[in-house]
Amino acid sequence: MKISKSKRIEEAVFKVLMWVAMGIVFAFVFSVIWTIFSRGVKAMSWDMITKLPGGGFYIGKEGGFLNAIVGSLYIVGASTLIGLLVSIPVVFYLNVYRKKGSRLAYVARLAFDVLFGMPSIVYGAFGFTIMVYFGLRASLLGGIIVITLLIIPIFIRSMDEASRNFPRDILDASYALGATRWETLRVVVRQIAPGIATATLLSIGRAIGDAASVMFTAGYTDSIPTSLSQPAATLPLAVFFQLSSPIPEVQDRAYAAALVLTIIVLILSIGGRFITNRFSKNKL
């Protein structure tokens, strides 16, 4: 009887601890979001997101950070596109062309997992040396290259996960009808389309928020770049640089930029979850 009582107590204690742990997680989420919103909304105005930095921007005069928004969109848009073009074939190759338990697929997955875990500052440092080697300066192109390298492993990993769950019988059915593997890809694409969509949203979220890698490769500028060789501002760096200013008005802009960045990332994250949920409902 005594033993059974102590085990009940232990059970109860750990259950409470688990509730506390989850409470802490929610508290952190709430605290971060609330901090960014309450501080950001105060600093937000229409000018912030529709105007370029004016003459006295960095001493607290007029202007906004449209340059950073557009710069981020350029970099993220281009690198997402290139990233998709590179990673979709790789995922197909690993899942359709290679048999289950293939040695190459194992090594490839390991390599992408390692790349996925690489800190973005290492990408930044490496990307920068490559750029110097080719005589490039901090530019839109440099930012696109590094962000592309950064998100390819994210793309591949999350799409790979989606395609691993899809029923292999469909492949066999397609082969049995006389289709080549290349033609079977059409069937596969349709099956894992939601997975690709989720992966894309995830990658965009990572790409738009990464500061360490674009710090030296994309640079920073007050104007919107008109060619690939010009430097480009990005949202996370707009937050970072403006926050290090001692002037309160400039810091306010950092909070406004942080709010914009957070809203974008939240939309992407919720969108990704939404697609995953719908997908799992329709699963065979």
Partner 1 sequence: MVKNRIVKDRLAQGVMFSLTIVAILFVVVMAIGLYLKSSPVLEGRSLFSLLTSSVWKPMKGEFGFLPFIVGTLWVTFLAILISFPISFLTAIYLTEYARPVVRKFVFPALDILAALPSVIYGVWGMLVIVPWISNHVAPHFMEFSSGYTVLAAGIVLGVMVIPLLVSLFIEVFTSVPAELREASLALGATRWQTTKKVVLRKTLAGVLAAVVLAISRAMGETIAVLMVCGCVIGIPTNILESCYPIPALIANNYGEMLSMPLYESALMFAALILFAVVLIFNLLSRIILYRIESREE
- Contact positions with partner 1 (CB under 8 A) in 15-44: 15, 17-22, 24-26, 28-29, 31-33, 35-36, 39
- Give the binding range for partner 1 (CB under 8 A) out of 63-71, 167-175, 223-231, 239-247: 239-247
Going by C-alpha positions, the residue among 41, 33, 170 that lies closest to residue 96 is 170
Token look-up 């001692």 returns 246
Structure tokens at 174: 């397609």
For residue 270, state whether it binds partner 1 (rule: CB under 8 A): yes
10 Å CB burial of residue 3 (0-12, 13-18, 19+) is: exposed
For residue 113, state whether it binds partner 1 (rule: CB under 8 A): yes
For residue 172, state whether it binds partner 1 (rule: CB under 8 A): no
For residue 252, state whether it binds partner 1 (rule: CB under 8 A): no
Estimate the share of the chain in helix, then strand, then coil, as percent rounded to the nearest 5: 80, 0, 20
For residue 128, state whether it binds partner 1 (rule: CB under 8 A): yes
CB nearer to partner 1: give 95 or 230. Answer: 95
Question: Residue 107 contacts by C-beta under 8 Å, 6 or more apart in sequence?
Answer: none
In DSSP terms, which residues pair with 198 in a beta bridge? none
End-to-end alpha-carbon separation of the chain, Å? 48
Alpha-carbon Rg of the chain, whole angstroms? 23
For residue 151, state whether it binds partner 1 (rule: CB under 8 A): no
C-beta of 55: minimal distance to partner 1 in Å? 24
Binds partner 1 by CB under 8 A, chosen from 236, 250, 253, 275: 236
Binds partner 1 by CB under 8 A, chosen from 49, 52, 136, 181: 181
C-beta of 253: minimal distance to partner 1 in Å? 12
For residue 192, state whether it binds partner 1 (rule: CB under 8 A): no
C-beta of 40: minimal distance to partner 1 in Å? 9
What are the backbone angles phi and psi of residue 193, rounded to the nearest 5°? -50, -45
For residue 180, state whether it binds partner 1 (rule: CB under 8 A): yes
What are the backbone angles phi and psi of residue 53, rounded to the nearest 5°? -60, 130
For residue 115, state whether it binds partner 1 (rule: CB under 8 A): yes
